[in-house]
Amino acid sequence: MKRFDNPDVIIADVMDSHGKWRVNKPAVICGDERITWGEFNRRINKVANGLIKRGLQKGDKVSLLSTNRLEVLEILFGTVKAGGVIVPLSAMVPGDSLARMVIDSDSRFLFVGPGQRDNIGPYRSEFSNIAADGFFALGDPVEGWNSFQSLVDESSDEKPGISLIYEDPFNIMYTSGTTGVPKGILHTHHNRTQFASMFAIDYRIDSSAVNIVTTTLYANGTWLTMLPTVFAGGTLVIMPVFDPKAFLELVQTEKCTHTFMVPTQFTVLLEQPDFDSYDLSSMRVWNSAGSPLRTRTKAEVIKRFSGELIELWGLTEGVATTLKPEDMENKMESVGLPLVGWDVRIIDEQGQELARGEAGEIVAFSSFLMPEYYKLPDKTAEAIWLDETGKTYLKTGDMGKLDEDGFLYILDRKKDMIISGGINIFASDIEDVLTRHPAVQDAIVIGIPHPKWGETPIAIVIAREGVSISEEELIAWVNPKLAKYQRISRVEFCDDFPRNALGKVLKRELRAPYFEQV
């Protein structure tokens, strides 16, 4: 008997649906460019057909290196519509690292935006997998590069007609490298469809959403609200570069409803002298992720911002928890609960599950958990923890604990944990106390070598503008508030911390000079 086909509805199907049923609805606003869903879908089809015409086969990888532009979205979704696998590259990474990612991903095409060609151009001869007609420049024509605009102009806007299923690969995203050599994280169409639909529900995103994109489109954190907005048929407002005043003006003018920002962006907005003069009443949800939002900043955001705040902890590999507005008051220091159907547990060094209240490594499961690290079976196997039924969980490398209600608290990265005199010290405990001082804008605690204790904690501090405090004064203030084994031995002041694309502090770079001296 004839039966219906398996109804896999993936992102490519959603784009076609919006192009048909929301044809005149605004899809993307970027600077002076405003395009509807009908036009957006046609432009995506042109990219897909152009790639297929130039030999892209299902499963081929396409690297993309650019800051925020409308074309980035067209290439991203055009690639996956063609059956390709998009490989977003960070514009903050040096050229030799980018080259390793292009080679490791087996990319057959490379798209590069203005300002990035000099970074990666010297390594072109190493990309033996990419043919001469596989190098494309965005923006104005450039000698030696094919024109992206020509690719679009010469291609059909008809649906490419590539059959895709859940198990087909969607993207390879390289880790930020905060704790070592970046790994390629593979996601399938199933992963990304689950990601988009689950966060659309969690962040209350529907077709009326107007999501202002403030962070780089190559970062997975940006996709937390970008992809659900696309999935729901809302509107994206893309900022080429984040500027606090421009952000406030865009929210007011475009009546934006949702955004994802990292903690430093919230801090900068709060410091704007004319912040309260802007009409932000259209905003429904502010999402913070990338690094912990300090409790003091969180409280100020809740007080001064229109709409609701949702904080997320998660990893690009595909696990997350969220702290919802209804739980903020009672659980402000936590990062919330897993999404519906997902799970989080805490284990010890031997892989045994710990009781609530005990600190250990966080392992987690979700419906968008990656199938593997690309071409790294040993690393994939190392990252797996099995529960009592044999279900695979991700070992996150983050240290945390669950309270009596199941809310998750992040303590530290496992590799960042300080061990002094055999005692585990979680930097976040000390950082929370330090940031309560009115002269401290932000603080990071790291462990440095010590001849007696092995390691000793020191604080690296960003002082508030216009406020003066000495090392001795801050040590005298903070140490009595800490346990004896937590007390800091030194304070150093700086203007900013080394960060990745989403503002996460690179603690290994802060530690490196001290360990080089040993």
* Domains observed in the chain: 11-188 (3.40.50.12780), 340-414 (2.30.38.10), 417-516 (3.30.300.30)
Q: What is the pLDDT of residue 450?
A: 81
What is the pairing mode between strands 61-65 and 85-89?
parallel
Q: What is the pLDDT of residue 182?
A: 76
As given in the structure block, the two tokens for residue 165 are 């299923």
Q: Tell me how far apart the alpha carbons of residues 163 and 161 are, in angstroms, rounded to a whole number.
A: 6
Least Cα distance to 417 among 435, 444, 399 occurs for: 399
Q: Tell me how far apart the alpha carbons of residues 429 and 19 are, in angstroms, rounded to a whole number.
A: 50
As given in the structure block, the two tokens for residue 7 are 């109804």
Q: Tell me how far apart the alpha carbons of residues 18 and 16 are, in angstroms, rounded to a whole number.
A: 6
Q: Is residue 403 left, alpha or beta, with left meaning phi > 0 and alpha meaning psi from -120 to 50?
A: beta
Q: What is the pLDDT of residue 178?
A: 43
Q: Tell me how far apart the alpha carbons of residues 346 and 328 are, in angstroms, rounded to a whole number.
A: 22
Quick one: which H or E segment has residue 343? Answer: strand 343-347
Q: Which residues, including other chains, have CB under 8 Å from residue 451's CB and lie 6 or more apart?
A: none
Q: What is the pLDDT of residue 516?
A: 65
Cβ–Cβ < 8 Å for 45, 261: no
Q: What is the pLDDT of residue 517?
A: 59
Cβ–Cβ < 8 Å for 313, 287: no
Q: What is the pLDDT of residue 176?
A: 58
Looking at the DSSP bridge assignments, the partners of residue 107 are 61
Cβ–Cβ < 8 Å for 488, 437: no
For the chain of 518 residues, list the mean pLDDT of each consecutive stretch of 10. Answer: 78 95 98 97 98 97 97 98 97 88 96 92 94 94 92 96 94 71 90 96 97 95 97 98 96 98 91 95 95 85 95 94 94 94 96 96 96 96 96 94 96 79 79 89 87 84 88 92 86 88 80 72
Q: Tell me how far apart the alpha carbons of residues 341 and 343 are, in angstroms, rounded to a whole number.
A: 7
